[in-house]
Amino acid sequence: MEDSALEPLFVFIAYSVSTIQRSFNALPGSAVIVRYVKSSHQNDPFRTILEAILVIFAIRTLLQSRTRSDTTGRHFIKFTANEIDELVDEWSPEPLVPSLNEAELADLASVPVTVGPPGPKPKLQSTGKTAINLASYNFAGLSGNDKVKDRAVSVLRNYGLGSCGPPGFYGTNDIHLDLERDIANFLGTEAAIIYSQGFSTISSVIPAFSKRGDIVIADRGASRSLRSTVRWYDHNDLNSLEEVMQSVAKEIKTKRWRLTRRFIVTEGIFENDGAMSDLPKLVELGRKYKYRLILDESFSFGTVGRTGRGLTELYNVPANQIDLIVGSLANTLAGCGGFCAGSRIAVNHQRINGTSFVFSAAMPGMLAMAASEGIQILTSTPSILSNLHTNIFTLRSILDKIDCITIPSHPASAIIHIQLRDPIEPAGNGLPTTARAVSRRPSNPTSLVPRDLVVFDIGAEEKLLQEVVDEALAQGILITRARRLRGQEALEPRPSIKIAASAAVSKKDTEKAASILKGILTKVLGKK
């Protein structure tokens, strides 16, 4: 859309350039003449007016074509007015949305509602009791931080709440500027830009850079809608990435594509399973094959590394080697929104081309302040993250020993996904479970279908996992299934339970929760 909106301008530019080029070539100093002509249009020669009218005409037709209907096409059928009336009467649309099935209704009913703040021990509306919170993304325990609250009140009394305007039109205030600088300093990049929702950040960043004809290679575990040429590599398998890059290089050579922008898109810690990317290798591959790297650190920023700077800190890779780092301010930092950090040029480019930056109101200053303060607290108090890491370790040391589950998450990941060890076969469709076995054939980079397709019965697995979640809640532990959009994702992820470790939960509670979980998991999943 954005392209088509710009199209008139492009054609306009192309047109005017070509018409004026001739005179340009003839007269080296023509710019001066044009200025002269413009300022004294009364005595300008007829030709200029003629050209101007032509340009106007070209724009008119172009602008009109946006809404013009195509009644001349090959497939157009001419109807009389009566026939159209009949067709209109006959037509009956499908319902706007199909009504929910039983499983979905159950899904909806099982959403936990907390009363009061989502701290380490929130009270639940359904039971009226408190539970140990292993569901909220309160990784660093900043939710309800008193210092942040105090400053929030002072921001409220000076700035109000809403920004009442997009960043371009007086929506940006000094708190936003400070936050952008804080993020850039924290990560060690030249600049950063903030978006008002974490989730929408990456889906605005990618289209801002990758235009038609550009090549994007993305991890299969990080599926998003893209309109460039997309190739997929196997989830978190960098050999597969290299193979895909080689095949693209070959394609470029044989088809003689012009040089276009090339991107690798992947996540630091994958939201879908908690696996972690091998950053140094990614950077190396990017360098070798001349790809730019877009890294979504929504779940690694603020959770890994000594002070929570994310993968760059963990692997000791300078942040300026990654072209665009995208992250969330809503998870660890207990604010709201997301950011994209990178070179000054890349960031400024988004200020004009990032759709959800340009066309959305700036985030409330108070929440931006919370994120700034969060960064400040993380930097000055490294013990927070070491507590988090201890808790992750505690959880893993107990959960890893359970037989009937697998945990695809990286040991350092603060979100821990629990899947059934043996997939439940879909009833009756006769697909063999051997699909799980590793096949040696490389996967097809143009399709989302992975190499090792696991076949599973989503409904049955989710039901079982929900049983675990319900039982856990009954015993005072708040966890949740990873909620997914079934039927809308190009690739269905395996159902899982998602546990979020938190520095705010004491080591003792974490241990207790893990042991209780162990009992429940063995009981519920072991019996089948």
Ligand X SMILES: Cc1ncc(COP(=O)(O)O)c(C=O)c1O
By the criterion CB under 6 A, which residues form the site for ligand X?
Answer: 359-361
CB of 355 to ligand X, least distance (A): 11
Partner that binds at residue 43, options ligand X, another protein, none, CB closer than 5 to 8 Å by kind: none
Q: 179 or 443, CB closer to another protein?
A: 179
CA distances in angstroms from 181 to 189, 296, 326, 333, listed in the order given: 10, 19, 15, 15
Amino acid code (one letter) for 41: H
Per-residue tokens: 33: 């003449």
**Residues 450, 105: contact at Cβ < 8 Å?**
no
66 touching another protein, by CB under 8 A:
yes
* Residue 425 to residue 72: CA distance in whole angstroms: 53
Q: Reduced to 3 states, what is the DSSP secondary structure of residue 237? A: coil
Three-class DSSP category at 225: coil
Task: Tell me which of another protein, ligand X, none is bound by residue 31, counting a contact when its beta carbon lies within the kind-specific cut-off of 5 to 8 angstroms.
Answer: another protein
Contact with another protein (CB under 8 A): which of 18, 22, 43, 93?
Answer: 93
Binding residue for another protein, selected from 18, 47, 102, 157, defined by CB under 8 A: 157
Question: Which residue, among 509, 482, 505, 508, has the nearest Cα to 494 in the 3D structure?
Answer: 482
The answer to whether residue 125 forms part of the interface with another protein (CB under 8 A) is yes
Q: Are strands 292-296 and 324-328 parallel, antiparallel or unpaired?
A: parallel
Could you say whether residue 249 binds another protein (CB under 8 A)? no
CB nearer ligand X, residue 361 or residue 398: 361
Q: At what angle do helices 279-289 and 238-255 cross, to 10 degrees?
A: 10
26 binds another protein (CB under 8 A): no
Say which residues have a Cβ less than 8 Å from residue 297's Cβ, sequence separation at least 6: 267, 268, 269, 310, 311, 325, 326, 327
- In whole angstroms, the minimum distance from the beta carbon of 343 to another protein comes to 8
Burial 37-72 (b: 16+ CB within 10 A, else e): eeeeeeebeeebeebeeeeeebeeebeeeeeeeeee
| Candidates 101-109, 437-445, 455-463, 514-522; binding stretch for another protein (CB under 8 A) | 101-109
Contact status: 135 vs another protein (CB under 8 A): yes
Determine if 154 is a binding residue for another protein (CB under 8 A): yes
The answer to whether 265 contacts another protein (rule: CB under 8 A) is no
Our CB check for ligand X shows the closer of 361 and 491 to be: 361
CA 403 to chain centre: 33
Nearer to another protein, 373 or 461 (CB): 373
As measured in angstroms, the least distance from the Cβ of 361 to ligand X is 3
Q: Least distance in Å: CB of 484 to another protein?
A: 6
Strand residue runs (E) in 273-358: 292-296, 324-328, 338-342
Q: Which of 11, 50, 61, 117 binds another protein (CB under 8 A)?
A: 117
Whole-angstrom distance, CA of residue 367 vs CA of residue 298: 17
Piece of the chain touching another protein by CB under 8 A; list 146-154, 232-240, 444-452, 514-522: 146-154
Nearest to 216 by CA among 294, 122, 317, 330: 294
Distance CA 304, CA 309 (A): 7
Q: Give which of another protein, ligand X, none residue 159 binds (C-beta under 5 to 8 Å, depending on kind).
A: another protein
**Chosen from ligand X, another protein, none, partner binding at 260 (C-beta under 5 to 8 Å by type):** another protein
DSSP state of 210: -
Residue closer to ligand X, measured from CB, 257 or 359: 359
Residue 9 touches which of ligand X, another protein, none (CB < 5 to 8 A by kind)?
another protein
Give the position of tokens 């507590």: 387
Q: Residues 92, 254, 429, 434: which binds another protein (CB under 8 A)?
A: 92
At a CB cut-off of 8 Å and minimum separation 6, what does 367 contact?
Answer: 329, 335, 336, 337
Which of ligand X, another protein, none is residue 154 near (CB under 5 to 8 Å by kind)? another protein
Residues 298-337 that bind another protein (CB under 8 A): 328, 330-331, 334-336
Q: Does 430 bind another protein (CB under 8 A)?
A: no
- Tell me the three state secondary structure of residue 219: strand
Stretch that binds another protein, among 158-166, 304-312, 392-400, 516-524 (CB under 8 A): 158-166
If one asks whether residue 148 binds another protein (CB under 8 A), the answer comes out as: yes
| Binds another protein (CB under 8 A): choice among 254, 255, 259, 428 | 259
In 333-462, which ranges are E strands?
338-342, 405-406, 415-420
Region 484-503 residues binding another protein, contact defined as CB under 8 A: 484-485, 488, 498, 500
Count of Cβ atoms closer than 10 Å to residue 353 Cβ: 16
Q: Are 511 and 393 in contact (CB under 8 A)?
A: no
**Which residue lies nearer to another protein by CB, 238 or 362?**
362
Q: Does residue 470 belong to the site contacting another protein (CB under 8 A)?
A: no
Residue 250 interacting with another protein (CB under 8 A):
no
Task: Give me the least distance between CB of 162 and ligand X, in Å please.
Answer: 9
Q: Which does 400 bind (CB under 5 to 8 A by kind): another protein, ligand X, none?
A: none
Nearest 5°: phi and psi at 246?
-65, -40
Exactly one of 100, 431, 453, 474 binds another protein (CB under 8 A); which one?
100
Residue 72 interacts with, from ligand X, another protein, none (CB under 5-8 Å by kind) = none
Question: What torsion do the CA atoms of 43, 44, 50, 51 make, to the nearest 10 degrees?
Answer: -160
